[in-house]
Chains A and B, each alone.
Chain A
Amino acid sequence: MADILLVLHTGCDGSLSKGALESIATTVDLSAKLGGSFAVGVIGAGAGAAADTIAGCGAEKFYVVEDEAVATPRYSSDAKAATALIQKAGAQIVLASGSSRLTRCMPGAAYRTGAQIDTHIVALAVEAGVLKAQRWYYRQRILTTLSRAARPWVLLVEGGIQPAWQGAAGVAEKESVAVEFTAVEQRTVIKGVESPAADAQTIRPDAALLFVAGAGWTKKQADGEYHISDASTLIQGFLNKAGASLGSSKSLVDLQSDGQATLSFMSHMNQVGQTGTTPRHAKGLSTCCHGEEPHAVGWRFINERRAINMDANCGWAQGKADVVYIANAFEVIAKVNELLG
């Protein structure tokens, strides 16, 4: 009986995501710290083949649920499958990446197995034999270290805390876990994935740089005019040339709903901060944005930060960024786009 069970799922093409590979690394690391062993459970289409790609990870066993019912993400079937894996493996600690599929179903599996569950874990440590986890509360404002005595304990870990596992493929020692899927699980039917067209896709979690556009782009400029279409062109140009991901401040996104002149390619999905997302790019460039706290908390995991702002006393200049360029973003980005070619 392994000490740790790592739960993975495949994508629709049968592969394991970067987040999944990172969670393998986390599991290997934790297992070593605990001085114990781990097993891997894989859910989804091509789960068996996926297990083979990570055969060399050091798991003592691979459990696989490959039924038609789990070919697509769905709470009811995924929760049932994960429950079966946890029960089968009998591990006291269950790890999983915080993918949307596992975020959705693992709480259900925790409930059904009487397990505790904590999510958005950013660090794991073992001190004096006690497993300790770190997570943020109040939207990246308060960092907490906690432990639980009760078991089993399900922990969903964030991306980016370990590099993706790399190692030998092979033939994994697999055991198929039978799960009884019934009509109950068929009430929800997945129709498919809706994506914006490739050139309209502005959210790029794997990009090297996050580009944040603030409300200043849509305000009247020094000549007293609005330059919305220039702003649009410059921002989209930058995104394409730099392959950057687009974020926004709440004030810019709110302007959209206020009937003000807008940047049509932005939506609430782009919003970063207190009521938006917390992206994890290595670099972030903030433009025309003041850098107030509720927005800046969303930058918690951006390592290198620079800002372009006309105000030398803006929040970014008060210790929230590494470099602040006091300049007109329209001019600078135009030049940057030229240089990026």
Chain B
Amino acid sequence: MCSLALGPADCTQMKINQMENKTMEGLQIVVCGTLVPDPLQTLEPVTTPTVPGLKNETMLPSVLDPWAAHSLYEAANLAKKVPGSKVYLVSLGPKAKLQQLMMTVAQKVPFELVAIDGSASGFTDAMEVAKTLAAAIEAIPGLDKARLLVFGGCASASRDAGVTMQLIGEQLGITDQFVGVDEIRMSDDGSFSVLERIEGGQYLASTCAGAPAVLAWATGSLPEPPNNPQVGMANMRFVIPALQKARPVAVGVGSINFEKSEVPAQKRATRIVKDVSADVIAAEIVEWIKG
């Protein structure tokens, strides 16, 4: 079914077609995700010499970006179902903060950490981040793109652009990409079906012939796993060495010129209505709805 002009992606496709008759091998699920400030914190922008940042950024407690976290739990869930699978977490952030983050994440699910020491700021350019992450993925020993699924969040709580996963995929030559995923169902032959969120609370249902693919997750369907000390102990044995050898990388704002960053005042002059009957309130609300 290939056309005469085959590009690199087409060759991969042919190889995959040949493999389709084999029993499914274990997957390599690489999750891209990093820390964001704990949503419960107050965030204030500051302007460092050239770029915006957050006030006291190093001090802010951080969590694994929520959608990336969902994708990590989904990855672990999928890896359990497909024998021989392995989960990697590729994370770009300041080393000390990644270490702190691991204390809360490493007890959740088994994974192998690939740490890159650099900025986790939302103000960095997505393309620079994507190039850095893609390079780290390519460098994973034993990486086999025919078995590779790249997971991550469909957007982050920091940059919230919703483009980084696609750019990583492009760098890796992966053209099957899904954004806003809530479900993956894997078949025995390696093909899978996916539900992606689209407008109006609906889902787009697709099937894909198999890896490689990029899945940028929304919330998925799994609850956050409880902390498991055995998982933590096993993970941590490799997390610390991974952090110790984390390569420092400069990830900047690319071609962005930031002119202004502000926290617009949200304060309204609230009118408080009390000691008034439900009837009166209801009438006022209905008038407002209709008006």
Let me know if chains A and B touch directly in the complex, using CB atoms closer than 8 Å: yes
CB pair B208–A187 under 8 Å, yes or no, is: yes
CA distance A150 to B206 in the complex (A): 36
CA distance A274 to B43 in the complex (A): 12
Q: How far is the CB of A244 from chain B (nearest CB, A)?
A: 8
* Nearest chain A residue, comparing its CB with the CB of B259: A145
Within 8 A of B (CB), among A273-331: 274-275, 283, 285, 293-294, 296, 300, 304-306, 308, 312, 316-328, 331
Q: Which residues of A have CB within 8 Å of B40? A: 293-294
Q: Which residues of A have CB within 8 Å of B260? A: 144-145
How many B residues, CB 8 Å from partner? 92
* Nearest chain A residue, comparing its CB with the CB of B69: A275
Q: Which residues of A have CB within 8 Å of B167? A: 107-108, 110-111
Against B, the Cβ 8 Å flags (1 = close, 0 = not) of A236-269 are 0000001000000000000001000000000011
Q: How far is the CB of B209 from chain A (nearest CB, A)?
A: 4
Does B52 lie at the interface of the complex (its beta carbon under 8 Å from any beta carbon of A)? yes
* Nearest chain B residue, comparing its CB with the CB of A140: B160
CB pair A190–B204 under 8 Å, yes or no, is: yes
Does B96 lie at the interface of the complex (its beta carbon under 8 Å from any beta carbon of A)? no
Q: Which residues of B have CB within 8 Å of A148? A: 255-257
CB pair A336–B259 under 8 Å, yes or no, is: no
Interface range on chain A (Cβ under 8 Å from partner): 35 or more
Q: How far is the CB of A91 from chain B (nearest CB, A)?
A: 17
CB pair A76–B273 under 8 Å, yes or no, is: no
A-B contact count (CB 8 A): 286
Q: Which of A99, A100, A120, A274 contacts B196 (CB 8 A)?
A: A100
* Nearest chain A residue, comparing its CB with the CB of B219: A268
CB pair A146–B259 under 8 Å, yes or no, is: yes
CA distance A183 to B37 in the complex (A): 43
Q: Which of A104, A132, A136, A188 contacts B179 (CB 8 A)?
A: A104
Q: Which of B9, B157, B195, B286 contacts A336 (CB 8 A)?
A: B286
Q: Which of B170, B196, B263, B288 contacts A112 (CB 8 A)?
A: B170
Against A, the Cβ 8 Å flags (1 = close, 0 = not) of B156-189 are 0111111100110111000111111000000000
* Stretch with Cβ within 8 A of A (4 or more), from B77-85, B139-147, B264-272: B264-272
Does B250 lie at the interface of the complex (its beta carbon under 8 Å from any beta carbon of A)? no
Q: Which residues of A have CB within 8 Å of B258? A: 144-146
Does A73 lie at the interface of the complex (its beta carbon under 8 Å from any beta carbon of B)? yes
* Nearest chain B residue, comparing its CB with the CB of A276: B219
CB pair B273–A323 under 8 Å, yes or no, is: yes
CB pair A144–B283 under 8 Å, yes or no, is: no
The verdict on A120 contacting B278 (CB below 8 Å), with A188-B208, A269-B197, A326-B272 known, is: no
Q: Which of A100, A143, A203, A319 contacts B268 (CB 8 A)?
A: A319
A–B pairs, 11, beta carbons within 8 Å: A118-B161, A136-B160, A146-B257, A187-B209, A188-B178, A188-B208, A189-B208, A191-B207, A194-B195, A194-B202, A283-B289
Given contacts A194-B204, A195-B202, 7 further A-B contacts (CB under 8 A): A100-B198, A144-B52, A191-B206, A319-B268, A319-B270, A324-B273, A335-B282
